[in-house]
């Protein structure tokens, strides 16, 4: 199978990403002394960079892979919200679905970095649910847009509620892919694919330590919640790709890990484009694993580009495909 053929289809797809928008700020500086006021380092700031985070980073990943992308979320009427809109427009991501709120500020994560090491992260966020006015604007947009797929990107910052999820799951003909956090699992019933990480999966599944019970728990998880497919990410242990046929154990791409920020966003982006382009869940998960292996070699949440992915596929696909294991419990 020539995976390149499927990669070339990405540019013909349009995807809607709905979820919590975050602005990531990276503040770079030097640490050369300890504060006389307290035993903490003094950072001499030299540079700041602004990046799209959360659902906006998923949108950026999809755009970098060639797709047309629309984003739905909420930002504040503030400096950081303006930065988000600037970055969306610079990257040609449709922002008509982005609601500017006067009731909440833009979610911001600031990372202080010195000599390649993150010293501290400062979060500014509001997790309360959307007010009715914001929700009406979001629902109005979600009911209009025609796309090839929808991604629900939940960072637990207040964007999602059962009624918004219901409109997405029940009101759209396009397949829905879900990157969940810690709640609403029962409301995602009918989703084409749900992608928890292993920690999130463990929270909603009863597990024993032996491997076979993990596989069986993954099958129960898919069946009990009513999802068509499930992919469980496990860091350097790869992924479990679950369908009604059984469970595929997908290996991780072995690269030196520099920063895991954004790896999950890369995975859901590649899974979505790969599956709507015709790849099986096994091959889509393998492609996503390769993409995640590229992403973690970069500083911060950074997109993976088609050229990088094609080169890695040529080098790694055959070897990794041979390491895929299938568990049939039917």
Rg (CA), the chain: 20
**How far is residue 69's CA from residue 9's CA, in Å, rounded to a whole number?**
14
Cα angle 138, 142, 147; round to 5: 145
Longest Cα–Cα distance in the chain: 66
3-class SS at 26? strand
Q: H or E segment at 281?
A: helix 281-295
Cβ(205)–Cβ(221) below 8 Å:
yes
List, in order, residues 6 or more apart from 324 with CB less than 8 Å away: 248, 249, 250, 251, 282, 286
Torsion angle of alpha carbons 226, 184, 274, 247, nearest 10°?
Answer: -50
Q: Catalytic site residue 265?
A: yes
Q: Which of 44, 265, 283, 328 is catalytic?
A: 265
Burial class (CB in 10 A: 0-12, 13-18, 19+), 189: middle
| Cβ–Cβ under 8 Å, residues 217 and 223 | no
Q: Is residue 26 within 8 Å of residue 111, measured between CB atoms?
A: yes
Q: How many residues does the chain have?
A: 330
Query: What are the residue numbers of the active site?
Result: 265
């Amino acid at each position: 199978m020539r995976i390149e053929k499927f990669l070339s289809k990405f540019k013909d797809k349009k995807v809607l990403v709905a979820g919590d928008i975050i602005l990531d700020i990276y503040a770079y500086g030097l640490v050369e002394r300890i504060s006389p006021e307290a035993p903490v380092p003094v950072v001499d700031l030299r540079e700041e960079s602004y990046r799209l985070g959360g659902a906006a980073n998923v949108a950026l990943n999809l755009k970098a892979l060639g797709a047309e992308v629309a984003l739905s979320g909420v930002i504040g009427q503030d400096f950081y919200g303006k930065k988000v809109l600037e970055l969306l427009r610079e990257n040609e991501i449709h922002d008509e679905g982005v609601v500017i709120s006067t009731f909440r500020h833009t979610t911001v994560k600031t990372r202080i970095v010195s000599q390649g090491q993150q010293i501290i992260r400062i979060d500014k966020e509001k997790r309360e649910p959307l007010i009715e006015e914001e929700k009406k604007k979001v629902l109005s947009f979600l009911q209009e847009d025609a796309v090839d797929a929808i991604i629900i990107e939940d960072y637990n910052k207040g964007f999602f509620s059962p009624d918004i999820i219901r409109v997405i799951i029940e009101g759209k003909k396009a397949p829905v892919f879900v990157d969940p956090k810690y709640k609403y699992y029962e409301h995602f019933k009918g989703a084409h694919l749900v992608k928890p990480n292993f920690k999130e999966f463990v929270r909603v599944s009863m597990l024993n330590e032996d491997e076979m019970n993990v596989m069986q728990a993954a099958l129960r998880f898919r069946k009990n919640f009513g999802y068509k497919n499930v992919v469980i990410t496990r860091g350097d242990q790869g992924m479990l790709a679950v369908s009604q046929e059984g469970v595929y154990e997908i290996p991780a791409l072995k690269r030196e890990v520099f920063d895991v920020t954004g790896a999950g966003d890369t995975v859901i982006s590649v899974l979505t484009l790969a599956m709507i382009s015709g790849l099986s869940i096994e091959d889509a998960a393998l492609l996503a694993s390769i993409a995640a292996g590229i992403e973690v070699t970069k500083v911060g949440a950074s997109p993976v580009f088609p050229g990088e992915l094609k080169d890695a596929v040529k080098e790694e696909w055959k070897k990794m495909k041979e390491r895929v294991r299938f568990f049939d419990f039917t």
